[in-house]
Structure 1
Amino acid sequence: MFARIITELGPWSWWVLGMILLAAELIMPGVFLVWIGVGAILTGALSLLFWEMGFWTWQLQAVLFAVFAGAAALAGRRLFKRLDADTDEPMLNQRSASLVGRTAVLQEPIREGRGRIKLDDTFWTVEGPDLPAGTRVKIVASSGRDLTVDAA
């Protein structure tokens, strides 16, 4: 089936696949299908050059597509890692991590290691030593949605 599709569409089959993958990236963003699409377009560019050559079999095209997609993914990863610059808001979108160091009053006592505090407009589950409600606590660590506290 794969060989038949490539034969019918000719060198444009890779271009079509590349465009479909790029369009799919718009629908399902995640910056991964872009690199596979780039691999398909690069294979399509070579197909335009070598389509009539005897060595340009669908097996060679598939291998080159895999190599190009892998290389594009690695290059894209390196590019985005380099573009990941320091920011003036390092805790942006890490709300629980940004709470470390703050103090609060226990809304519910910590029993068996778990209780609740209210910070701003949100109730947070806390872990720490057993303490009665109304005790002032300091947030010392965060793990996902849970905060670890000690008596302040």
Structure 2
Amino acid sequence: MDEYVAFFWEIEFWHWWAFAVLLIALEAFVASTLLLWPGISAAVIGLVVLIRPDFDWRYQMLLFAVLSVISTVLWLRWLRMRPIKSDHPNLNTRGRSYVGRRITLAEPLKDGRGRVQIDDTWWQASADGPLEKGVEVEVTDTDGATLIVRTFSAG
């Protein structure tokens, strides 16, 4: 146990920079930006230790933890306020692209649940109640991979 504590007393700036490089390299593989900010925080702590080598290791750890949490939370908040605009917003949510589409049931929906065919794909479907084969329905929403449909009435 004493050798682990002794290591912390000997932490130098290059330890922090090596840790920063490791975190940022892992971020390159993970691509979530969640390791980026602790990596940058580790680089900042390395700079602080370079300027002030007598900076106690306990404060180094505390400052690293605080900087990592604050920078990550601020980044996530910033991302949430600026959603990524896409010219294909339904690219990975294919079912959402069918909202508003009218289809004729190829199978009945028993107890409001069943399958509908759109183009060459069968989808799970849900409705408020049972619907007979041949009824025209409109897709109004999705719930995961299930299409929510209702009877279509023109006008």
1:91 corresponds to which residue? 90
The answer on whether the counterparts of 2:11 and 2:57 sit within 8 Å (CA) in structure 1 is: no
1:77 corresponds to which residue? 76
- Aligned positions of 1:124-143 closer than 5 A: 124-128=123-127, 129-143=129-143
Shift of 1:119: 1.1
1:36 corresponds to which residue? 38
**CA RMSD of superposed structures (Å):** 2.0
Matched residues in 1 for 2:59 and 2:11: separation?
17
The answer on whether the counterparts of 1:5 and 1:13 sit within 8 Å (CA) in structure 2 is: no
The answer on whether the counterparts of 2:38 and 2:68 sit within 8 Å (CA) in structure 1 is: yes
Shift of 1:8: 4.7
The answer on whether the counterparts of 1:38 and 1:72 sit within 8 Å (CA) in structure 2 is: no
Q: Deviations over 1:71-123 (max 9, x none)?
A: 22133224434553444443332222221111112222100221111112221
Which stretches of structure 1, 4 residues or longer, exceed 4 Å deviation after superposition? 6-9
Distance 1:5-1:23 versus aligned 2 partners, 3 A rule: farther
Q: Deviations over 1:9-30 (max 9, x none)?
A: 5221111111111111122221
Report which stretch shifted further, 95-104 or 68-77.
68-77
Distance 1:24-1:46 versus aligned 2 partners, 3 A rule: same
**TM-score of the aligned structures, taking structure 1 as reference length:** 0.85
Matched residues in 2 for 1:67 and 1:123: separation?
50
Unaligned runs of 5+ in 1: none
Matched residues in 1 for 2:67 and 2:148: separation?
47
Matched residues in 2 for 1:108 and 1:45: separation?
67
Identify the structure with the greater strand proportion: 1
Task: Name the SS of the counterpart of 2:90 in structure 1.
Answer: coil
- Aligned positions of 1:12-91 closer than 5 A: 12-51=14-53, 53=54, 56-81=55-80, 83-91=82-90
- How many positions carry a matched residue from both structures? 149
**TM-score of the aligned structures, taking structure 2 as reference length:** 0.84
The answer on whether the counterparts of 1:126 and 1:148 sit within 8 Å (CA) in structure 2 is: yes
Matched residues in 2 for 1:28 and 1:136: separation?
45
Matched residues in 2 for 1:33 and 1:2: separation?
25
Task: Name the SS of the counterpart of 1:133 in structure 2.
Answer: coil
